[in-house]
Chain A
Amino acid sequence: MILTLKDVAKWYGPVIGLVDVSVEIEQGVTGLLGPNGAGKSTFLKLVAGQLRPSTGEVRVLGHDPFRTPAVFRKVGFSPEPDAFYEDMTGLGFVSFLTRLRGFTPSEARRKAQEAVECVGLTEAAHKRIGAYSKGMRQRIKLAQALAHDPEILILDEPLTGLDPVARRRIVELVRELGEQGRTILISSHVLHEVEAMTPRIVLLHQGRVLARGTIDEIRALLDQYPHRIVVRSPDARELAQALLAAPGVVGVQLADGMVRIDANNPDEVYDLLPGLVLERNLSVHGLEMADASLDAIFEYLVK
């Protein structure tokens, strides 16, 4: 396995960072999801050798990343903090860090140029980082992680602050790198961003792994929980009343021209609805499965 955490816990004094985390990350893109404070950055810092676990074991390509800096020949890390040598140019910054990874000055410069081009910063490469916009800063951070052509990429919230065009570009780049066989661990608290890059996720909440697998697998795990269906209707009150006694419906909520139905078996509700609507002469403007998205899955799991 490429990245492994076994029974890992991390405390910051009395504050819990991670508890009892055992995860194996395979080749390809894996999204690390969770709200702010879930432990995503702690997880990534442990994998990037910035922190030592309080208990348990972290292995990157079989090595302890805290004790084995040599492993960073094959690992690129884009940290979350917006921190740079502000007076360096973007290209200078990437070249400098690439040289520290053992490349000759000319190799480092060539690789830095390629990485800067890859993230779409060629035109601004010779500008001081201090003059970069938030999006450009994010991209140069990504470029330094990519420049030495690592097998493993660890990206902490890399899409924060990017404009839509840059965001799409980075999402495509991550997907492409994953398809090339690299291992990419990417954190985000914006679920649809991760969904756009990979179906494989690890969900963190309050320092614990809540679920892991593909979005479909996690969704399947949730079959034991009620599914939510939202019906938009001007006759929401009557519809809600009719649904209360329907088989399989465990809860009904009224809200601003819509009915939220919690059902153990949504198919039953779908079968029942047309008959009810016709029978009572009600209008329906829309119907959706509210928990088909990753956001909803996450909400369920956190509950």
Chain B
Amino acid sequence: MSAGATFLVARNTMARHLRTARFWLMTVLSSVPFWIALIAGGELQHFFDTTLFLSYQVVLPLLGLIMGVSVLQDEIEARTITYLYTTPMSRASVFLGRLLGTYAAFAPLLFLSVLGSGLVYTDAGAELGMRRLPQSDFLTAHQMWATAAFAAAGFLVYLTFFASLRAILKRAFGIGFILTFLVEGAVSKIPQGDIAQLSVWRHVALGFLKTFEEWPSGFTKMFPELGHPGGGEWRTLLGIFVGALVVGLWAVREREVRLPASVA
């Protein structure tokens, strides 16, 4: 029964996401790398490489924050969570259903975004009428795919992380925002192969601040510093995902939900 009910909640969640303005904003934002690749490619190579990279590694974590917090927040703000929590479903199943529904709504967007951006590097893209882009020293087609895939997976991990944070904290968005930009900036000192690769602040700092005076050619200099995600980063990502999910499931089970103006 629980799996079926979880699926129902997931389906309902996905359907509800598709009707929100937020979804359409996400659609536009997630297509940005593709449009940049298509329009700017070839003629503004530095700009293209950098923006593509930043789109995945800065914009997507922020969208992960927005979407992640919404997993529980939407139901709490609408006060409809009361209905879900007075069914025989466990709270963990409700949380899981909401999470799966949110993945299901947004993962295809990311997939299309990654696919679209990657295509401009390939012969297949050229055959579809896209301009075949020259590969830069730093960003080869292979690296492009690896980075994009990592960023897309990172989005889902961020989403899970912030969904869990909301299960613990009422003001998860503000705290999540600080966490994304400041705390990660601090932990970005950790050597490669660790959480550093996930640091939004690190990318912003390196991408904009360090290279500001030499813009746009300075962007290219930062790439070797950032490196490309490899096995260590994937393991870190998986660890964060599992940890966040476990904490989130625990939190929804243990913590009561306070609806707006619930004191009566």
Selecting from B27-35, B83-91, B137-145, the interface stretch reads: B83-91
CB-nearest residue of chain B to A76:
B86
User: Which parts of B226-244 form the interface with A (CB within 8 Å)?
Assistant: none
Q: Measured between C-beta atoms, what is the minimum distance from B250 to chain A in Å?
A: 13
Q: Kindly supply a per-residue 1/0 record for chain B positions 245-264, scoring 1 wherever the CB is within 8 Å of any chain A CB and 0 otherwise.
A: 00000000000111100111
Selecting from A48-56, A253-261, A275-283, A291-299, the interface stretch reads: A48-56
User: Which parts of B9-42 form the interface with A (CB within 8 Å)?
Assistant: 9, 12, 16, 19
Q: Kindly supply a per-residue 1/0 record for chain A positions 46-66, scoring 1 wherever the CB is within 8 Å of any chain B CB and 0 otherwise.
A: 001111100000000000001
Asked whether, in the complex, the Cβ of B256 is within 8 Å of the Cβ of A51, the reply is yes
Interface presence of B78 (CB below 8 A): yes
Interface presence of A300 (CB below 8 A): no
Interface presence of B46 (CB below 8 A): no
Asked whether, in the complex, the Cβ of A85 is within 8 Å of the Cβ of B16, the reply is yes
Q: Measured between C-beta atoms, what is the minimum distance from B158 to chain A in Å?
A: 27
Asked whether, in the complex, the Cβ of B5 is within 8 Å of the Cβ of A99, the reply is yes
Chain B residues with Cβ below 8 Å from A85 are 12, 16, 78, 80
> Which one, B88, B90, B257, B263, contacts A102 given CB within 8 A?
B88
Asked whether, in the complex, the Cβ of B87 is within 8 Å of the Cβ of A45, the reply is no
Asked whether, in the complex, the Cβ of B88 is within 8 Å of the Cβ of A72, the reply is yes
Asked whether, in the complex, the Cβ of A50 is within 8 Å of the Cβ of B88, the reply is no
Interface presence of B79 (CB below 8 A): yes
User: Which parts of A74-95 form the interface with B (CB within 8 Å)?
Assistant: 75-77, 79-81, 83-85, 87
Q: Measured between C-beta atoms, what is the minimum distance from A261 to chain B in Å?
A: 37
CA A77 to CA B258, docked complex, whole Å: 17
Interface presence of A100 (CB below 8 A): yes
Chain B residues with Cβ below 8 Å from A36 are 264
Chain B residues with Cβ below 8 Å from A15 are 263
CA A37 to CA B264, docked complex, whole Å: 5
> Given A41-B264, A81-B259, A87-B19, are A97 and B85 neighbors across the interface (CB < 8 Å)?
no
CA A45 to CA B79, docked complex, whole Å: 13
Asked whether, in the complex, the Cβ of A101 is within 8 Å of the Cβ of B88, the reply is yes
Interface presence of A1 (CB below 8 A): no
CB-nearest residue of chain B to A44:
B264
> Which one, A17, A73, A79, A144, contacts B88 given CB within 8 A?
A73
> Given A75-B86, A84-B80, are A66 and B264 neighbors across the interface (CB < 8 Å)?
no
Chain B residues with Cβ below 8 Å from A49 are 85-86
CA A83 to CA B82, docked complex, whole Å: 9
CA A96 to CA B9, docked complex, whole Å: 9
Asked whether, in the complex, the Cβ of B264 is within 8 Å of the Cβ of A39, the reply is yes
CA A39 to CA B262, docked complex, whole Å: 11
> Given A15-B263, A17-B263, A102-B5, are A81 and B88 neighbors across the interface (CB < 8 Å)?
no
Asked whether, in the complex, the Cβ of A66 is within 8 Å of the Cβ of B5, the reply is no
Interface presence of B8 (CB below 8 A): yes
Q: How large is the interface on B (under 10, 10 to 19, 20 to 34, 35 or more residues)?
A: 20 to 34
Asked whether, in the complex, the Cβ of A81 is within 8 Å of the Cβ of B83, the reply is no
Chain A residues with Cβ below 8 Å from B84 are 100
Asked whether, in the complex, the Cβ of A99 is within 8 Å of the Cβ of B80, the reply is no
Interface presence of B1 (CB below 8 A): yes
Asked whether, in the complex, the Cβ of A100 is within 8 Å of the Cβ of B8, the reply is yes
> Which one, A12, A71, A83, A99, contacts B263 given CB within 8 A?
A12
Asked whether, in the complex, the Cβ of A52 is within 8 Å of the Cβ of B256, the reply is yes
> Given A50-B256, A66-B256, A69-B91, are A102 and B80 neighbors across the interface (CB < 8 Å)?
no
CA A80 to CA B78, docked complex, whole Å: 13
Asked whether, in the complex, the Cβ of B87 is within 8 Å of the Cβ of A96, the reply is no
CA A1 to CA B263, docked complex, whole Å: 27
Chain A residues with Cβ below 8 Å from B5 are 99-100, 102
Instruction: Specify which of B9, B79, B86, B263 lies most central, judged by the most chain A CB atoms within 10 Å of its CB.
Output: B86
Interface of B with A (CB < 8 Å)?
Answer: 1, 5, 8-9, 12, 16, 19, 78-80, 82-91, 256-259, 262-264
Known contacts A79-B86, A83-B78, A83-B80; 18 further A-B pairs (Cβ under 8 A): A12-B263, A41-B264, A48-B86, A69-B85, A69-B88, A75-B86, A79-B82, A80-B264, A81-B79, A83-B82, A85-B12, A85-B16, A85-B80, A97-B87, A99-B8, A100-B89, A101-B87, A102-B1
Q: Which 4 pairs from chain A and chain B are nearest by CB?
A: A41-B264, A83-B79, A100-B87, A77-B86
List 23 A–B pairs whose Cβ atoms lie within 8 Å, in order of A's numbering: A12-B262, A15-B263, A39-B264, A41-B262, A41-B264, A48-B82, A49-B85, A50-B86, A50-B256, A50-B257, A72-B88, A76-B86, A81-B82, A83-B78, A83-B79, A85-B78, A97-B83, A97-B87, A99-B5, A100-B5, A100-B8, A101-B88, A102-B5
